[in-house]
Structure 1
Amino acid sequence: MPHTESPGTVAASLTRLRWWTELPLILLVYGCYTAGRLLARGDVSSAVDHGLAILRIEKFLYINAEHPLNRLFTHQAWLGVPADFWYASLHYVVTPVLLVWLFRSRVGHYRAARTWLMTSTFIGLIGFTLLPTCPPRLLSASHGFVDTMAQYSSYGWWGGEASAPRGMGGMTNQYAAMPSLHVGWALWCGVMLWRHGGTRSAKVAGVVYPLVTTIVVMGTANHYFLDAVAGVAVMGVGLLLTPLVLRATDRVQARLAVRFPALAKSAPGASPTWASAASPGATSDAPASIVSGECKTSPGERLPRQRETGFASGAEPDAAPTDAGDGAPAAAR
């Protein structure tokens, strides 16, 4: 069943969010994501130790699914090549496309969805920093892994250094494997398609995309199975923190509106209700209304069958009307 937003929610979101403020914010977060991966290179020997420790845990639990998948992708080019294209491209295409779609078509849900994605990404950066991890493809050949990206590099734009284009391998951190944000972002995309897609095809895509991505990251030897599990866990923590982040953001906006009321009133994308709530003493430039009981009229507007009195009708200020326009004497009303 399609998800619809209430008119009030849509109106509030439209007044708050503008693409020229959202786009720089998204680019800033992605820049932090890229820079964080570069800065969190860590010690190579520690990264290798962490990778081997993960592999030992998986073997002990018999969950090292990356071994058979990697052998399958290595021996079957018709599976390995599409998997490499999947890994090298969709992570950077599907997520932005869904963000734009949510902004344009599901604006009432966009802010929470965007905040969830960003919060989880920053948590992932903490993981890269604290636990640099060597991916399976960079372990010694004795561990039985083959780098399919390097094996099939002649089919695409990537070289032998992850999904980076040839000659640009130095611009990526190959030891940022734990957690797998490929899987985390794919899970976010799947949830968005399932909840807001509105069609059976969208729901199917919402299930297939994260599952295939999980298989791809293991089959190409870019991640361990536990990396994928950690990516899911990071998204779960980000989802739990999203309401707190949204409330903190609203408090900051309210304080800024109190300190800078003129800026809050004139800034593009500012919500009129937010500005007025944050600035109780703010005055409105709209014409004053005439309020009488439950009726509100604008200056000069009369209710049906209302009789003009006072100076407007030429009567004396203390003159009392004799009837209500319906033929009944004033005393009888």
Structure 2
Amino acid sequence: MTITATAPRAAAYRGKLRWWTELPLVAVIYALYSAARLMVRGDVDDAVQHGADILHFEQWTHLDPERFFNSLFTHHAFLGVPADFAYASLHYVITPSILVWLWLRRPTHYRVARTWLLTSTLIGLVGFTTVPTAPPRLLPGAHGFFDTMAQYGNYGWWGTDASAPRGLGHLTNQYAAMPSLHVGWSLWCGIILWRYARHRVVRVLGLLYPTVTALVVMGTANHYLMDALAGAATMGVGFLLSKPALRLTDLAVARVLRAFGRTPRVHAESRMVAASTDAVPPAEAAVGEPLGPSAGPSAGHPVGQTAEDGKPAADAPSPATALPTPAPAPASAAAATVPRQVSVPLGRVLPTDDKADPTRFAGGEHAGRTRMS
């Protein structure tokens, strides 16, 4: 017979995340983001000027690799065509795929990762609104950039309007280069894969993905180097704000549910935070030691004495009313009744030859924290 401490199962936690609420949530937020992105196109002249200013700053600091990569992709189709495919598709395929993978395989990390992604996306929208920026391919021809998406358009479904499918260019904002969410989202994907994927090959691909994306967006003349760095910074700020945003969201949802007379659900993250503040963590409680207030005198000690120093306890009955003390048991019997104090960390198994009686944990606060098998 063994006793093991149990942890919340991933499947049980995923059951508390309902897909019919998560899917509309992500879809609605992305739709609002896309609509707002179109509404804040700004003035074209201002966007072109902002793009030229960024390029001049990069040239002044000698951090302007865009023209080199753009020339490379323009003159070599075996580089330009795959880069265009990557720019027009991976952004919209890999990111939602990783969200679904988190939902299915790492559900306890899904809410924080999803909130991080959505928070960063909304921060990027602030950048599009305040600093509309023309990409290098839309700068005047004197700057020497070529639109590889237009050059290799016959190879794919994209047109001359960024990564939008041919004929749907009016549904995209071409002057939203700062920050680059292509780079930002790919960085999110890379970190998630590196952190939670188990296979080394997948983790390495996760590290390569944002690097390749940064080269692609510059080689196709859709972003500047500063755009890529701003996209990475946006994800950093979003990461710092993700947990506060999650707590605020949970508080708002709880208030709405209470207003309708319903009990708010406590997610696993909140339970783990609360458990970390307990005086005695359940996973480290000693076997044979009650987890709650004692219902009677300590084993082997008369009423009115504590187990530590033998002094009368504050709430002990007076000697006149004290209960009669039973006759002391033989030394061998007394030794058999004193349970061993064995610390059982989470997931450890109590040896079968231990003298403690496992049935003593069938009820009380310890119930549900251990399992008999």
Same fold (TM over 0.5): yes
Distance, in Å, in 2 between the alignment partners of 1:238 and 1:13 is 25
CA shift for structure 1 position 108: 0.5
Q: Look up the match of 1:178.
A: 178
Counterpart position of 2:135: 135
Q: Give secondary structure in 2 for the equivalent of 1:242.
A: helix
CA contact (8 A) 1:149 1:220 kept: yes
Q: How does 1:281-320 map to 2 (within 5 A)?
A: none
Residue of structure 1 in register with 2:106 after alignment: 106
Is the Cα–Cα contact under 8 Å of residues 120 and 239 in structure 1 kept in the other structure? yes
Please give the TM-score of this superposition, normalised by the length of structure 1. 0.77
Amino acid at match of 1:184: G
Residue identity (%): 58
Deviation of residue 253 (structure 1)? 2.4
Q: 1:151 matched to which residue of 2?
A: 151
Aligned partner of 1:125 in structure 2 is: 125
**Contact residue 123 and residue 238 of structure 1 kept, 8 A:** yes
Cα offset, 1:15, TM superposition:
4.3
Q: Would the aligned equivalents of 1:12 and 1:271 in 2 still touch at CA under 8 Å?
A: no
Amino acid at match of 1:23: L
Please identify runs of 4+ aligned residues in structure 1 that moved more than 3 A.
9-13, 270-274
Q: CA deviation at 1:252?
A: 1.4
Deviations 1:19-59 (A, max 9, x none): 11110011112112211220110000000010000000000
AA aligned to 1:260 is F
Counterpart of 1:36, as a letter, is: A
Q: Hey, what does 1:56 align to over in structure 2?
A: 56
Shift of 1:165: 1.1
Report the counterpart of residue 87 of structure 2 in structure 1.
87
Name whichever of 251-260 and 113-122 sits farther off: 251-260
Q: C-alpha separation between the residues in 1 aligned to 2:255 and 2:201?
A: 44
The 2-side partners of 1:7 and 1:20 are apart by 26
Distance 1:88 1:70 in 2: 16
CA contact (8 A) 1:137 1:146 kept: yes
Which residue pairs with 2:217 in the alignment? 217
Query: Hey, what's the Cα distance between the residues in 1 that align with 2:267 and 2:52?
Result: 56
- Residue 58 of structure 2 aligns with an amino acid whose one-letter code is E
Corresponding residue of 1:22: 22
Name the CA distance, whole Å, in 2 between partners of 1:16 and 1:61.
Answer: 51
Partner of 2:230: 230
Secondary structure, in 3 states, of the residue corresponding to 2:8? helix
Partner of 2:190: 190
Aligned-residue offset at 1:107: 0.3
Against the structure 1 CA distance between its residues 202 and 87, is the aligned structure 2 distance closer, same or farther, given a 3 Å change threshold? same
Match in the other structure for 1:261? 261
- State the match for 2:200 in structure 1: 200
Give the letter for the 1:16 counterpart: K
Residues of 1 paired with 2:152 and 2:132: CA distance?
Answer: 26
Verify the 8 A CA contact 1:147 1:220 in the aligned structure 2. Answer: yes
More helix by share: 1
The residue type equivalent to 1:61 in the other structure is T
3-state DSSP of counterpart to 1:261: coil
Q: Distance in 1 between matches of 2:12 and 2:61?
A: 50
Q: TM-score, normalised by structure 2?
A: 0.69
Distance (Å, rounded) in 1 between the aligned partners of 2:129 and 2:102: 31
Deviates more, 1:219-228 or 1:30-39: 30-39
Deviation at 1:11, TM superposition (A): 6.4
Letter in 2 for 1:48: V
The equivalent residue for 1:45 is 45
Residue 230 to residue 210, structure 1, CA distance change in 2 (3 Å): same
Note the C-alpha offset of 1:12.
Answer: 6.8
Q: Is the 8 A contact 2:14 2:103 kept in 1?
A: no
Which residue number corresponds to residue 74 of structure 1? 74
Question: How far apart in 2 are the matches of 1:124 and 1:12?
Answer: 34
Q: Is the 8 A contact 1:9 1:108 kept in 2?
A: no
Unaligned runs of 5+ in 2: 1-5, 271-289, 292-325, 329-373
Tell me: CA distance 1:12–1:258, structure 2 relative to 1, closer, same or farther (3 Å): farther
Partners of 1:29 and 1:102 in 2: CA distance: 19
Letter aligned with residue 96 of structure 1: P
